[in-house]
Amino acid sequence: MKRISPPSWADRFLAWYCNPDILEEIQGDAHELYAERLTKEGKRKADLKFVIDVIRFFRWSNIRRTDREFKAQNIVSLLRFNLKISTRNAAKNKLSFIIKTMGLSFCLAFTLILTAFVLHEKTYDHFNVDHERIYRITSLVNFQDHKTHYAVTPLPIGKTMTQGIPEVESYTRLMFEGNPLFHIGDHEFYNQSTLAADSNFLRMLTFEFIHGGADALDEPNNLVLTESTAKAFFGDQDPMGQSLQWGNGPLVSVAGVIKDPPTNSHLRFDILVSWNTFNRQDEWSNLNAYTYVILKPGADIKQVGDKMPSLLRTFHELVAREYDATYEPIFENITDIHLSETLDEDIAIKRKENNLSVLIAVVLLFLITGLINYLNLTMAEITANLKKIGIIRVFGGMSGSHHKIFLADTLFALLIVVPTSTIIFYGIWTACQSYLSIEIDPGVFVHPWFIGLAAGFLVAILCSSGFNSIVLSNAMHVVHSLKGSLSTKLRGTPVRKLLVGTQVAFSTIMMALMIIVVDQFRFIQETDKGFDDKNTMVVKIRSGDPSTVEAFKERIRNIAGVTGVDGSSYYPGIIETKYVFKVETETGMKELLVPMMLCGYDYFKTLNIRLASGRFFDSARETDRDGAFIINETAAKDFGWNDAIGKMIKGPVGGGGDVFRDGNVIGVVQDFNFASLHARIEPMIIFLSDDRWGTPFIYIKTNPLHADGLVTAIEVEYKALWSDPFDWVYLDSKYLSLYKKDYEMKNIFEIGLAISIVLSSLGIFSISALLANLRMKEMGIRKVVGANFLQLFFLHIKSFQRFLAIAIPVAWPCTLYLSQRWLTNFAYHIDLKPVHFLFPALLAAAIVLSTSAYHAAKGALLNPVESLKHE
């Protein structure tokens, strides 16, 4: 009888794909089922169900594998196996794993924050589409052999360059209007920084429009508001076309709304007003405009600079003839403005580049110390699992199998570190924005440099596992591994000591820098500024004739708790303007460019400014009103006057050589510094205010024990004379605000100091645990032969002297270099002393000894029987 078989093609397909190890079993079962179905259901149904079975058996577990595929599966299995070991190790050593991953997370997060901050500072104004072609023009004036670099230029220079130099495509100019008063119905606003800008401003620079377009400043009496300002002015109403009253000036209307300028813009403003809203003296003698030019694509700024002397020949001749001076235009790319030197009459947001150099060094040191801490803690953790590594090396057939364990440990740690550091990073960034006033634009986080550096940091962490693997390979023998110990040669330990010593050095540097920063800020607060800013209010006067101002001062003097009142034209943080004065010299009257200040009779008394020689202004002397000057000590020195009293001064000198005041020096006051200690005290000429020269700032000295309602009483007197808002500030707080950028650095160092000390302590703790484990048997033998607790304790501590021997010589020169770089930001600063180097070294020694003392005591107290059992 002919035997009936299942479909041959289906049977061959099963034999083709099925693993030979299980083919006989599967094929036999399929044939038995086919025979039963053939008897009960007939051939047609039996064939169909056989085909369905063949297809049903086509699974991953049943598929044939080649030798190459089998090996690949072994690698995957081994990696899975190593990850499983890493997970179990982490669960077994929870505290060690948490310390290791959290330490690396904090270090990585802070490193990324510092990186973002540095990139934020380095990418100022890069948001402008054509930033490579945009340049600001500044003015270098050499007057009587004294060079002054101004941020402003003559008003016509941009237009002249556009018309006379083919490489210049266009220009724009602006003026700083301060914080004018705006009336909207019954509401008043006066804290908005305002710029007057011409029609090209919004075409040249890149700002995102919410309402309106780049032509918003083409017409007079037009305003462009930032988004936050529009919200403050009009709430949820549509701001377009809304009218505002500019103080006592014209009625202006909103022609556009832009998003707030990015935080990495050197220009900060809330309102733009069209240039033609006010009549400008568009003359070469008017040196008051901030001018920007944009070059044509492919043009070179050097070509433009070479053509400037011939283009400005007429102006140069005018300057030389009228003022006996020279003028040179200086070009700086818009992206260089933020980190360039601060110029006279500069409104740009600035930061000293030295600060960034220090921060870049801290970024590198933080990354290195974080990796070192991770390496040490990982090494200490793995030395506790050497038996497992030994077994893997014996049965794995590959001497490098432990390398995969390091890689698996690192990958598993990164699964925890990456999300944790991201959360910490976001928390630090939020705290910087909200509480520390440190600005980092979110756009920096998607910058290619930031993404590349962040990826590089992760690669460095992965590479660190290879470093640990190499060190451990040199220190590990398979026999010793099976006993749970390293090779007796301990060749990995010196490397670890070097790494921990470097880590301690970084903490020493951070402590030293923090001490120097704190000392400098103490110096700022305690140094003699030459005036008393305590218990002093400053009221800003926006409008009013001199008689009204005098009436206000007289009213204030009668309020209980007020000990002194007078006005001045000088105020911390205002843009200082220099004027031409004629001063007496041995060779006759000489013209000099000097800052000036106007004040009242009681100004010096109110602020306790001390007299060096001569006398103060006296209201009983009629000649003081129009014919008396007071100078500071620096002016007397610069003018070459040994005895300044009686010397003649004329000025300020106006257009056409007009002299507004002619008189003699009646007194010399000790130098006082209303600017920050970043700038040196300049010579100053002081004279009494009059109808032509007002005093917009009223200084009010109050009794420290004044009644709570004193400020309210002063406001009542102010409101009785003016309808303007009562705008005032305490002088000491205003003075400290001049150091905002420096406080940012101080806050960064404080956070970095805390993290670096914790990381160093963890590193010392890990190496201490390893050394205690390696010397356990030695300690037991010493205890058996008579060593006491103190001898064993100090024997362990003695090993850590090497850390200090490495750390201190490395830390001191680095501290000297970085601190000097930072202190150069100040014209007046502390002198570095031995205590700035010795005290951090002592603190580092205390950290090292206190951290290692735990294992020293533990090893000294251990039962020698247990110690001698240790292999």
Has residue 100 been placed in a domain? no
CB 632 within 8 A of CB 671: yes
792 and 692 in one domain?
A: no
CB 698 within 8 A of CB 564: no
What are the Cα distances from residue 747, in Å, to 64, 103, 364, 677?
64, 20, 18, 19
**What's the mean pLDDT when you consider all of the chain?**
82
Amino acid at 556: I
**pLDDT value of residue 68:** 45
The CA distance from 20 to 63, in Å, is 9
408 and 520 in one domain?
A: yes
Has residue 369 been placed in a domain? yes
380 and 254 in one domain?
A: no
Nearest-10 crossing angle of helices 353-382, 740-774: 20
- Region label for 212, one of left (φ > 0), alpha (ψ between -120 and 50) or beta (otherwise): left
Query: Using one digit for the tens of pLDDT, what is the confidence trace for 655-669?
Result: 666 788 899 999 999
Half-sphere exposure of residue 723: CA atoms within 13 angstroms, side-chain side: 8
Place of tokens 């200040």: 597
User: Three-state SS string across 561-577, please?
Assistant: CEEEEEEECCCCCCCCC
Q: Which of 693, 726, 759 is the last residue of a domain?
A: 726
Contacts of residue 626, Cβ cutoff 8 Å, sequence gap at least 6: 661, 663, 690
Has residue 103 been placed in a domain? no
Range 339-361 average pLDDT: 85
What are the Cα distances from residue 34, in Å, to 159, 266, 569?
98, 85, 109
Domain region containing 622: 543-726
The CA distance from 660 to 159, in Å, is 33
pLDDT bin (cut points 50, 70, 90) of residue 388 is low
Has residue 111 been placed in a domain? no
The CA distance from 627 to 661, in Å, is 7
* Maximum average pLDDT range among 13-22, 254-263, 650-659: 254-263
Nearest-10 crossing angle of helices 801-823, 492-526: 40
Q: Which of 175, 140, 152, 130 is nearest to 308 (CA)?
A: 140
Query: Using one digit for the tens of pLDDT, what is the confidence trace for 217-228?
Result: 999 999 999 999
Q: Which of 21, 44, 62 is the last residue of a domain?
A: 62
CB 629 within 8 A of CB 665: yes
Place of tokens 């299995």: 77
State the total domains in the chain. Answer: 4
Has residue 95 been placed in a domain? no
**pLDDT value of residue 394:** 55
CB 375 within 8 A of CB 499: yes
- DSSP H or E segment with residue 467: helix 448-475
Contacts of residues 402-407 at CB distance under 8 Å and 24 or more positions apart, as own/partner, are: 402/469, 402/472, 402/473, 402/476, 403/466, 403/469, 404/78, 404/79, 404/82, 405/82, 405/85, 405/86, 406/378, 406/382, 406/465, 406/466, 406/468, 406/469, 406/472, 407/82, 407/462, 407/465, 407/466
852 and 768 in one domain?
A: yes
In this predicted structure, the answer to whether residue 283 has a pLDDT above a threshold of 80 is yes
In this predicted structure, the answer to whether residue 525 has a pLDDT above a threshold of 70 is yes
The CA distance from 271 to 251, in Å, is 15
* Maximum average pLDDT range among 270-274, 319-323, 772-776, 855-859: 270-274
Range 779-798 average pLDDT: 70
CA dihedral (494, 499, 501, 502) positive or negative: positive
753 and 854 in one domain?
A: yes
608 and 562 in one domain?
A: yes
Contacts of residue 313, Cβ cutoff 8 Å, sequence gap at least 6: none
236 token code pair: 């949820």
**What is residue 396's three-state secondary structure?**
helix
In this predicted structure, the answer to whether residue 679 has a pLDDT above a threshold of 60 is yes
Contacts of residues 495-500 at CB distance under 8 Å and 24 or more positions apart, as own/partner, are: 495/471, 496/375, 496/376, 496/379, 496/471, 496/767, 496/770, 497/767, 497/802, 497/803, 497/806, 498/806, 499/372, 499/375, 499/376, 499/763, 500/372, 500/376, 500/763, 500/764, 500/767, 500/803
List phi, psi (to 5°) of 853.
-65, -30
Range 197-220 average pLDDT: 93
- Region label for 614, one of left (φ > 0), alpha (ψ between -120 and 50) or beta (otherwise): left
pLDDT bin (cut points 50, 70, 90) of residue 479 is very low
Query: Using one digit for the tens of pLDDT, what is the confidence trace for 582-641?
Result: 999 888 888 888 999 999 999 999 999 999 999 999 999 988 988 899 999 999 999 999
Has residue 128 been placed in a domain? no
The C-alpha angle 154, 160, 166, rounded to 5 degrees, equals 140
Query: Using one digit for the tens of pLDDT, what is the confidence trace for 40-98?
Result: 888 888 888 888 888 888 777 677 765 444 444 455 665 666 667 667 766 766 766 77
228-267: string of b/e by CB count within 10 Å (b at 16+)? Answer: ebbeebbeeeebbebebebeeeeebebbbbbeebbbbbbb
Name the DSSP class of 748.
H
555 and 694 in one domain?
A: yes
Other CB atoms within 10 A of residue 621 CB? 12
In this predicted structure, the answer to whether residue 244 has a pLDDT above a threshold of 70 is yes
**pLDDT value of residue 73:** 46
**What is residue 685's three-state secondary structure?**
strand
Q: Which of 864, 869, 849, 664 is nearest to 782 (CA)?
A: 864
pLDDT bin (cut points 50, 70, 90) of residue 769 is low
Name the DSSP class of 313.
H
Q: State the alpha helices, DSSP H only, in 708-739.
A: 710-721, 731-736
In this predicted structure, the answer to whether residue 486 has a pLDDT above a threshold of 80 is no
| Lowest-confidence pick of 296-300, 321-325, 488-492 | 488-492
839 and 818 in one domain?
A: yes
**pLDDT value of residue 491:** 44
Question: Of 503 and 770, which is predicted with more confidence?
Answer: 503
Range 276-293 average pLDDT: 89
Has residue 581 been placed in a domain? yes
List phi, psi (to 5°) of 193.
-70, 130
CA dihedral (59, 61, 62, 64) positive or negative: positive
Range 290-319 average pLDDT: 91
CB neighbour class for 35 (10 Å; exposed up to 12, middle 13-18, buried from 19): middle
Range 149-168 average pLDDT: 93
Query: What pTM was computed for the model?
Result: 0.77
In this predicted structure, the answer to whether residue 557 has a pLDDT above a threshold of 60 is yes
In this predicted structure, the answer to whether residue 209 has a pLDDT above a threshold of 90 is yes
- Region label for 530, one of left (φ > 0), alpha (ψ between -120 and 50) or beta (otherwise): left
pLDDT bin (cut points 50, 70, 90) of residue 852 is confident
**pLDDT value of residue 76:** 60
711 and 768 in one domain?
A: no
> Strand 588-599 to strand 685-688: parallel, antiparallel, or no bridges (unpaired)?
parallel
| Lowest-confidence pick of 67-71, 305-309, 500-504, 543-547 | 67-71
The CA distance from 185 to 182, in Å, is 10
In this predicted structure, the answer to whether residue 475 has a pLDDT above a threshold of 70 is no
| Lowest-confidence pick of 150-159, 289-298, 848-857 | 848-857
In this predicted structure, the answer to whether residue 464 has a pLDDT above a threshold of 70 is no
463 token code pair: 């590479």
CB 418 within 8 A of CB 458: yes
Q: Which of 726, 758, 783 is the last residue of a domain?
A: 726
Contacts of residue 534, Cβ cutoff 8 Å, sequence gap at least 6: 704, 732
CB 230 within 8 A of CB 241: no
Place of tokens 């501590």: 797
Strand partners, 361: none
pLDDT bin (cut points 50, 70, 90) of residue 473 is low
271 and 196 in one domain?
A: yes
290 and 244 in one domain?
A: yes
The CA distance from 555 to 33, in Å, is 114
The CA distance from 514 to 840, in Å, is 10
CB 531 within 8 A of CB 833: no
**pLDDT value of residue 771:** 66
Contacts of residue 88, Cβ cutoff 8 Å, sequence gap at least 6: none
Has residue 271 been placed in a domain? yes
Amino acid at 605: K
Range 768-775 average pLDDT: 66
- DSSP H or E segment with residue 246: strand 243-246
What are the Cα distances from residue 363, in Å, to 25, 184, 299, 760?
64, 49, 37, 16
**pLDDT value of residue 398:** 46
The CA distance from 613 to 669, in Å, is 7
User: Cis (ω within 30 of 0) for the bond into 7?
Assistant: no
Other CB atoms within 10 A of residue 488 CB? 10
**What is residue 206's three-state secondary structure?**
coil
**pLDDT value of residue 478:** 47
265 and 206 in one domain?
A: yes
List phi, psi (to 5°) of 653.
-90, 120
**DSSP code per residue over 75-130:** HHHHHHHHHHHHHHHHHHTHHHHHHHHHHHHHHHHHHHHHHHHHHHHHTTTTTSTT
